[in-house]
Chain A
Amino acid sequence: QVQLQESGPGLVKPSETLSLTCTVSGGSISSYYWSWIRQPPGKGLEYIGYIYYTGSSNYNPSLKSRLTISVDMSKNQFSLKVSSVTAADTAVYYCARSRAAGNLLLDFWGQGTRVTVSS
Protein backbone atom coordinates (compact mmCIF):
# COMPACT_ATOMS: atom_id res chain seq x y z
CA GLN A 1 0.00 0.00 0.00
CA VAL A 2 1.25 3.42 -0.95
CA GLN A 3 2.26 5.67 1.93
CA LEU A 4 3.13 9.36 1.83
CA GLN A 5 5.06 11.26 4.47
CA GLU A 6 5.53 15.02 4.61
CA SER A 7 8.70 16.50 6.09
CA GLY A 8 10.15 19.95 6.59
CA PRO A 9 10.54 22.79 9.10
CA GLY A 10 7.61 23.39 11.42
CA LEU A 11 8.46 27.08 11.81
CA VAL A 12 9.23 29.57 9.04
CA LYS A 13 9.88 33.29 9.37
CA PRO A 14 7.74 35.81 7.51
CA SER A 15 9.05 36.73 4.03
CA GLU A 16 11.11 33.52 3.86
CA THR A 17 10.46 30.41 1.76
CA LEU A 18 8.52 27.43 3.08
CA SER A 19 9.96 24.14 1.83
CA LEU A 20 8.35 20.74 2.28
CA THR A 21 9.11 17.30 0.89
CA CYS A 22 6.79 14.35 0.44
CA THR A 23 8.38 10.90 0.40
CA VAL A 24 6.44 8.16 -1.36
CA SER A 25 6.87 4.58 -0.22
CA GLY A 26 5.22 1.34 -1.27
CA GLY A 27 4.96 2.42 -4.90
CA SER A 28 6.64 4.33 -7.68
CA ILE A 29 6.23 8.02 -8.23
CA SER A 30 5.92 7.44 -11.98
CA SER A 31 2.58 7.33 -13.79
CA TYR A 32 0.75 9.37 -11.16
CA TYR A 33 0.00 12.97 -10.30
CA TRP A 34 1.20 14.35 -6.98
CA SER A 35 -0.56 17.10 -5.10
CA TRP A 36 -0.27 19.49 -2.19
CA ILE A 37 -3.24 20.62 -0.10
CA ARG A 38 -3.30 22.76 3.03
CA GLN A 39 -5.67 23.57 5.87
CA PRO A 40 -5.23 26.80 7.85
CA PRO A 41 -6.28 26.65 11.50
CA GLY A 42 -10.05 26.69 11.82
CA LYS A 43 -10.56 26.81 8.05
CA GLY A 44 -11.30 24.42 5.22
CA LEU A 45 -8.97 22.54 2.94
CA GLU A 46 -7.33 24.52 0.13
CA TYR A 47 -5.87 22.90 -2.96
CA ILE A 48 -2.35 24.15 -3.76
CA GLY A 49 -1.39 22.34 -6.96
CA TYR A 50 -0.09 19.19 -8.56
CA ILE A 51 2.83 17.86 -10.57
CA TYR A 52 2.96 14.92 -12.93
CA TYR A 53 5.97 12.62 -12.68
CA THR A 54 7.18 14.03 -16.01
CA GLY A 55 7.42 17.46 -14.40
CA SER A 56 4.37 19.15 -15.86
CA SER A 57 2.43 21.01 -13.19
CA ASN A 58 -0.68 22.99 -12.42
CA TYR A 59 -1.08 25.49 -9.61
CA ASN A 60 -3.90 27.23 -7.77
CA PRO A 61 -4.07 30.67 -9.44
CA SER A 62 -4.38 32.36 -6.05
CA LEU A 63 -0.94 31.05 -5.05
CA LYS A 64 0.73 30.56 -8.41
CA SER A 65 3.16 33.49 -8.25
CA ARG A 66 4.74 32.11 -5.05
CA LEU A 67 4.69 28.37 -5.77
CA THR A 68 7.13 25.82 -7.04
CA ILE A 69 6.32 22.11 -7.06
CA SER A 70 9.02 19.73 -8.24
CA VAL A 71 9.58 15.99 -8.45
CA ASP A 72 12.69 13.86 -7.83
CA MET A 73 12.11 10.42 -9.30
CA SER A 74 15.48 9.12 -8.11
CA LYS A 75 14.40 9.67 -4.49
CA ASN A 76 10.69 8.93 -5.02
CA GLN A 77 9.92 12.37 -3.62
CA PHE A 78 8.18 15.54 -4.62
CA SER A 79 8.51 18.97 -3.05
CA LEU A 80 6.70 22.22 -2.41
CA LYS A 81 8.17 25.69 -2.09
CA VAL A 82 6.12 28.73 -1.14
CA SER A 83 8.01 31.99 -1.25
CA SER A 84 7.44 35.25 0.64
CA VAL A 85 5.32 33.60 3.31
CA THR A 86 3.06 35.45 5.71
CA ALA A 87 0.98 34.37 8.70
CA ALA A 88 -1.77 33.45 6.22
CA ASP A 89 0.41 30.55 5.07
CA THR A 90 0.25 28.95 8.52
CA ALA A 91 -1.49 25.62 7.99
CA VAL A 92 -1.34 21.86 8.07
CA TYR A 93 0.14 20.85 4.72
CA TYR A 94 -0.82 17.53 3.14
CA CYS A 95 0.68 15.74 0.18
CA ALA A 96 -1.44 13.34 -1.83
CA ARG A 97 -1.45 11.11 -4.89
CA SER A 98 -3.92 11.45 -7.73
CA ARG A 99 -4.83 8.61 -10.02
CA ALA A 100 -6.58 8.95 -13.33
CA ALA A 101 -10.15 7.76 -12.77
CA GLY A 102 -11.89 9.74 -15.44
CA ASN A 103 -10.78 12.95 -13.81
CA LEU A 104 -7.88 13.03 -11.37
CA LEU A 105 -8.87 11.51 -8.03
CA LEU A 106 -6.94 12.07 -4.78
CA ASP A 107 -6.63 8.51 -3.51
CA PHE A 108 -3.79 8.45 -0.98
CA TRP A 109 -2.84 11.23 1.43
CA GLY A 110 -0.08 11.84 3.92
CA GLN A 111 -1.02 12.56 7.52
CA GLY A 112 -0.02 16.22 7.21
CA THR A 113 2.64 18.44 8.72
CA ARG A 114 1.97 21.63 10.62
CA VAL A 115 3.81 24.75 9.48
CA THR A 116 3.70 27.98 11.45
CA VAL A 117 4.84 31.29 9.98
CA SER A 118 6.10 33.49 12.77
CA SER A 119 9.12 35.54 13.69
Chain B
Amino acid sequence: DIQMTQSPSTLSASVGDRVTITCRASQSITNWLAWYQQKPGKAPKLLIYKASTLETGVPSRFSGSGSGTEFTLTISSLQPDDFATYFCQQYESYLYTFGQGTKLEIK
Protein backbone atom coordinates (compact mmCIF):
# COMPACT_ATOMS: atom_id res chain seq x y z
CA ASP B 1 0.00 0.00 0.00
CA ILE B 2 1.07 3.59 -0.59
CA GLN B 3 1.40 5.37 2.76
CA MET B 4 0.44 9.04 3.02
CA THR B 5 1.98 11.15 5.77
CA GLN B 6 0.38 14.51 6.43
CA SER B 7 1.69 17.34 8.61
CA PRO B 8 1.02 19.08 10.84
CA SER B 9 -1.79 17.23 12.58
CA THR B 10 -3.06 20.49 14.08
CA LEU B 11 -2.51 24.03 12.92
CA SER B 12 -3.56 27.19 14.77
CA ALA B 13 -3.94 30.31 12.66
CA SER B 14 -5.83 33.58 12.40
CA VAL B 15 -8.15 35.01 9.79
CA GLY B 16 -6.03 36.49 7.01
CA ASP B 17 -3.05 34.17 7.61
CA ARG B 18 -1.37 32.17 4.87
CA VAL B 19 -1.13 28.49 5.81
CA THR B 20 0.48 25.46 4.25
CA ILE B 21 -0.21 21.76 4.84
CA THR B 22 2.17 19.07 3.61
CA CYS B 23 1.50 15.54 2.41
CA ARG B 24 4.19 12.97 1.60
CA ALA B 25 3.72 9.70 -0.24
CA SER B 26 5.79 6.60 0.48
CA GLN B 27 6.42 6.20 -3.26
CA SER B 28 5.90 8.31 -6.32
CA ILE B 29 2.25 8.97 -7.15
CA THR B 30 3.11 11.31 -10.04
CA ASN B 31 0.41 13.95 -9.49
CA TRP B 32 -2.51 11.70 -8.54
CA LEU B 33 -3.25 13.57 -5.34
CA ALA B 34 -6.45 15.15 -4.05
CA TRP B 35 -7.18 17.46 -1.13
CA TYR B 36 -10.46 17.52 0.78
CA GLN B 37 -12.02 19.75 3.41
CA GLN B 38 -14.24 18.27 6.09
CA LYS B 39 -16.35 19.94 8.74
CA PRO B 40 -17.85 18.05 11.71
CA GLY B 41 -20.82 15.91 10.70
CA LYS B 42 -20.54 16.95 7.05
CA ALA B 43 -19.44 15.21 3.89
CA PRO B 44 -15.83 15.73 2.82
CA LYS B 45 -15.60 18.30 0.02
CA LEU B 46 -13.17 17.96 -2.88
CA LEU B 47 -10.96 21.05 -3.16
CA ILE B 48 -8.07 20.11 -5.44
CA TYR B 49 -7.26 17.16 -7.68
CA LYS B 50 -4.32 16.14 -9.80
CA ALA B 51 -2.20 17.92 -7.18
CA SER B 52 -2.94 21.43 -8.40
CA THR B 53 -6.27 21.58 -10.26
CA LEU B 54 -8.94 23.53 -8.41
CA GLU B 55 -12.34 21.82 -8.34
CA THR B 56 -15.14 23.91 -9.84
CA GLY B 57 -16.56 26.39 -7.36
CA VAL B 58 -13.63 26.26 -4.93
CA PRO B 59 -12.27 29.71 -4.04
CA SER B 60 -8.98 30.69 -5.62
CA ARG B 61 -7.35 31.25 -2.21
CA PHE B 62 -6.88 27.47 -2.18
CA SER B 63 -3.96 26.12 -4.18
CA GLY B 64 -2.03 22.90 -4.44
CA SER B 65 1.42 22.03 -5.66
CA GLY B 66 3.90 19.18 -5.84
CA SER B 67 4.61 16.01 -7.71
CA GLY B 68 6.20 12.66 -7.07
CA THR B 69 6.15 12.21 -3.32
CA GLU B 70 5.82 15.70 -1.84
CA PHE B 71 2.73 17.89 -2.02
CA THR B 72 1.36 21.01 -0.37
CA LEU B 73 -2.01 22.66 0.10
CA THR B 74 -1.87 26.42 0.63
CA ILE B 75 -4.64 28.75 1.74
CA SER B 76 -3.48 32.23 0.86
CA SER B 77 -5.67 34.26 3.23
CA LEU B 78 -7.70 32.33 5.76
CA GLN B 79 -11.41 33.06 5.96
CA PRO B 80 -13.68 32.13 8.88
CA ASP B 81 -15.29 29.37 6.80
CA ASP B 82 -11.90 27.69 6.27
CA PHE B 83 -11.49 26.40 9.82
CA ALA B 84 -12.00 22.69 9.28
CA THR B 85 -10.07 19.45 8.85
CA TYR B 86 -8.12 18.88 5.65
CA PHE B 87 -6.86 15.58 4.32
CA CYS B 88 -4.95 14.39 1.31
CA GLN B 89 -5.60 11.24 -0.70
CA GLN B 90 -3.62 9.44 -3.37
CA TYR B 91 -5.43 7.90 -6.29
CA GLU B 92 -2.45 6.61 -8.23
CA SER B 93 -3.48 3.16 -7.06
CA TYR B 94 -7.10 1.99 -6.99
CA LEU B 95 -6.40 1.13 -3.34
CA TYR B 96 -6.83 4.74 -2.29
CA THR B 97 -4.99 5.81 0.84
CA PHE B 98 -5.38 8.94 2.89
CA GLY B 99 -3.40 11.28 5.06
CA GLN B 100 -4.29 11.37 8.74
CA GLY B 101 -5.74 14.87 8.46
CA THR B 102 -4.85 18.38 9.61
CA LYS B 103 -7.22 20.19 11.92
CA LEU B 104 -7.06 23.92 11.22
CA GLU B 105 -8.05 25.82 14.36
CA ILE B 106 -8.63 29.45 15.15
CA LYS B 107 -5.74 30.94 17.10
Contacts and interface: CB of A to CB of B under 8 A. Distances in A.
Is the A/B pair a real complex?
Answer: yes
Interface of A: 4, 35, 37, 44-47, 50, 58, 60-61, 94, 101-112
Interface of B: 32, 34, 36, 41-46, 49-50, 55, 87, 89, 91-92, 94-101
A102 B90 CA distance: 13
Contacts of A4: 43
26 contacts: A4-B43, A37-B96, A44-B99, A44-B100, A45-B87, A45-B98, A47-B95, A47-B96, A47-B98, A50-B94, A58-B94, A60-B95, A61-B95, A102-B50, A103-B91, A106-B46, A106-B89, A106-B91, A107-B46, A107-B49, A108-B46, A109-B36, A109-B43, A109-B45, A110-B43, A111-B41
Contact of B44 (A44, A104, A109): A109
Question: What 4 pairs across the A-B complex have the smallest Cβ distances?
Answer: A45-B98, A47-B96, A109-B43, A111-B43
Grouping DSSP codes into helix (H, G, I), strand (E, B) and loop, the A interface class, with mixed when no group exceeds half, is strand
Nearest to B44: A109
Contacts of A104: 91, 94
A103 B101 contact: no
Contacts, number: 54
Nearest to B98: A45
Nearest to A35: B96
